[in-house]
Amino acid sequence: MIYTVDRVQFDVNGELIVFEFINRSKDDRNFVKKKCNSLYLIPNVTLVVVIYDDRFMDGNEIIVLRKGNRKVCKWNEYKEWFLLKNAASVTNSVSISKRLGSATQNQGDPYVHEVLERIHRIDFSLDDSGLGITKEALNNESTYGFDFDLFDDTHNNIIEFLNNETKEKDKNPIENIQAHPMRYSWISEEEQKNFAKKMKEIYPNWNNPRKSDNRQKYISLWKAKQKLKGELYLVNYNKLNKTEDLSIIEVIELDENKGIMFDISYKVKYEDMISWLEKMNTVPYDAKQYLTKFPKEVRDSFFWGNYYRNQAKYPVPKRSHIGKCYK
């Protein structure tokens, strides 16, 4: 079965804590019950269930279930507890995450909701994955948690969806099959400075649209993948155009200091991606084999070794060769 995991964080001992937020007034009860039962059975994971409704700040009770214990609290007590839980993972984070909301403006991801609706035939449009109550609790504090866009509980596989924003912003747009975290993560401060200087010389009014290096997102997902003994997939898509080819990247090796050092990218259509996820949901042993029928680009240690060696030749590092050799 595949589903979204609302919040994941590492505790001070490096163990995974998984949060499931259940809104009594909106969520499909049968689905979340199956989801919680499944998460509860995963080894080396602590499940925390938070049950609430839309009036959580108006005095309605919030129920927290953890390791067989049931805690009923009001908003201020819950907020204090959650902030302590968030802070408890600080020592296990190599960098501070973005404030929740700076990266996620929507209450849930409409693209992921649509994918889940295709697979489970359930309306997920009202499911905000606990973002509303979490934003209120954090109140602009940095979050040390992250989520799994999709999670396969048979093989403990993690799927992260990455919107190709270059098309949306119409600035140096690239194809989905060329998109890759190494284009915008693991970028040194010196490189960013040189790039900004060069662009200012060409365009005096230029403002740097490049995101800050968000490698921590991928490091966290990789660590979770290792802890769960599963696989990590990245799906590059363009929310403006479903007819464009997508890439499904299997991350095989990641170095926290250098970045992704071995991956295989598959070129697929939207419906192919849906079929892949449907197989993962019903016949998960066939899902990986299904991908092998599509054109792929293997980016091994030799590929990324050349990538790093070539950077010194250019004032602005070249990344244009990524996604150019699908066979």
Give the span between the Cα atoms of 10 and 223, in whole angstroms: 9
CA angle 109, 113, 117 (to 5 degrees): 175
CA atoms within 13 A on the CB side of 215: 16
Burial of 131 (0-12, 13-18, 19+ CB in 10 A): buried
Give the span between the Cα atoms of 310 and 205, in whole angstroms: 30
Asked if residue 161 lies in contact with residue 274, where contact means CB atoms within 8 angstroms, the answer is no
Give the span between the Cα atoms of 198 and 46, in whole angstroms: 49
The token pair that represents 279 in the structure block: 């197989």
Residue with more model confidence, 40 or 185: 40
| pTM for this prediction | 0.88
Asked if residue 70 lies in contact with residue 63, where contact means CB atoms within 8 angstroms, the answer is yes
Is residue 103 scored above 70 in pLDDT? no
Going by pLDDT thresholds of 50, 70 and 90, the confidence category of residue 206 is low
Strand partners, 158: 151, 232
Q: Which of 18, 34, 2 is nearest to 231 (CA)?
A: 2
Mean model confidence pLDDT for the chain: 85
| CA Rg value for the chain | 21
pLDDT digits (tens, 9 = 90+) for 131-178: 999 999 998 777 878 999 999 999 999 999 999 988 777 667 889 999
Place of tokens 């799927």: 159
Give the span between the Cα atoms of 62 and 43, in whole angstroms: 27
The proportion of the chain whose per-residue pLDDT surpasses 90, expressed as a percent, equals: 57
Tell me, what's the pLDDT at 288?
A: 92
Is residue 101 scored above 70 in pLDDT? no
